[in-house]
Amino acid sequence: MADHPLLALQGVTKTYGTGDAQMHALAGINLSINPGEFVAVMGPSGSGKSTCMNILGCLDTPSSGEYRFQGVNVGGLTRNQRALLRRHYIGFVFQGFNLLNRTTALENVELPLIYRGMDTATRHRLAKAALDAVGLASRESHTPGELSGGQQQRVAIARAIVTEPALLLADEPTGNLDSKRSVEIMELLTAINRDQGITVVMVTHEPDMADYAKRIISFKDGLIESDQKLKGYLC
C-alpha cells in the first residue's frame, strides 16, 4: 500500500446555478485513490461521476471541500498552476478520441510534448516509443481518417501516456467501439496500469468493461453509493 494517496477528496461538493435553478452535482464526496490503482467509475446520467472526474482532472473546481493531488491542495493553486499540473501529471482519453484529423498519428502523439517546449528529436523519439507501446509502430504516418476506431483510440492512449503521467483519466474509452475493439482497448489499459504503474480512473456505463478494473466506485444522486475492490485487490 502507498504511504499517501495519489488523489484525495474530502467533503467535496459541486453546485451549479442559483435559486430555483440550483443543482447539486456532488453532495459531499470523500474518496482516496492510491498510486497504481485501476478504478472504474459508474453511475446513471446525472449521478455526479462526470463532475467528479472533471474535478480530478483539474478541469473544474469544487464548490466546497478539498482536493489533494500527491498531497498538494489543488484548491490553493492558480488557474495556470492547475494547467501545469494537468500538463505534467495527468493524461486524458475520451470517448470521441479527440485527434486532429489532418495530422499524422505521430504528430497527434507529439502534441503534449510540444506544449512542454520539448525539442523535435526528443519529441519524435518519445512519440514513436508511445505508438510502439500501443501496437501502432507501423501506423505513425497515418492520419485518423486512415485508421480504424480502435486504432484511433490507441493513438489517443499513446498521446495520453507519452508524458508518463501519474494519472490517466479515461472517459468512456470504449463507448464508440465494437465489442472486439473494446476488449482490445481494455486489455491495453490493463497492461499500461500493470507494466507502467500509471494510475487509471475510468468512467464507463458498461459492467463488462468495469470488470477489468481492480476497484469499482458507483455514484448516485451526487454521492458515492458503493466502493468495491475486486480480484483480491488489497491496496
Which pTM does this prediction carry?
0.92
Strand partners, 210: none
* Extended strands (E) in the chain: 7-16, 23-33, 38-42, 64-69, 72-73, 90-94, 167-171, 199-203, 215-220, 223-229
Look up residue 177 and give its amino acid.
L
Strand partners, 167: 90, 199
Look up residue 186 and give its amino acid.
M
- pLDDT tens, position by position, 157-216: 999 999 999 999 999 999 889 999 999 999 999 999 999 999 999 999 999 999 999 999
Tell the residue number behind the cell numbers 468493461, with chain if given: 209
Region of 229 please: left (phi>0), alpha (psi -120 to 50) or beta: beta
Could you give all domains of the chain from N- to C-terminal order, each with its CATH number? 35-59+78-229 (3.40.50.300)
- pLDDT tens, position by position, 75-134: 999 999 999 999 999 999 988 888 999 999 999 999 999 988 899 999 999 999 999 999
pLDDT band at residue 235 using 50, 70 and 90 as cut-offs = very low
Residues counted in the chain: 235
d(CA 118, CA 59): 24
Cell numbers at 233, concatenated: 485487490
The answer to whether 131 and 139 have CB atoms below 8 angstroms apart is yes
The answer to whether 37 and 229 have CB atoms below 8 angstroms apart is no
pLDDT band at residue 1 using 50, 70 and 90 as cut-offs = very low
pLDDT at residue 22, as a whole number: 85
The answer to whether 208 and 176 have CB atoms below 8 angstroms apart is no
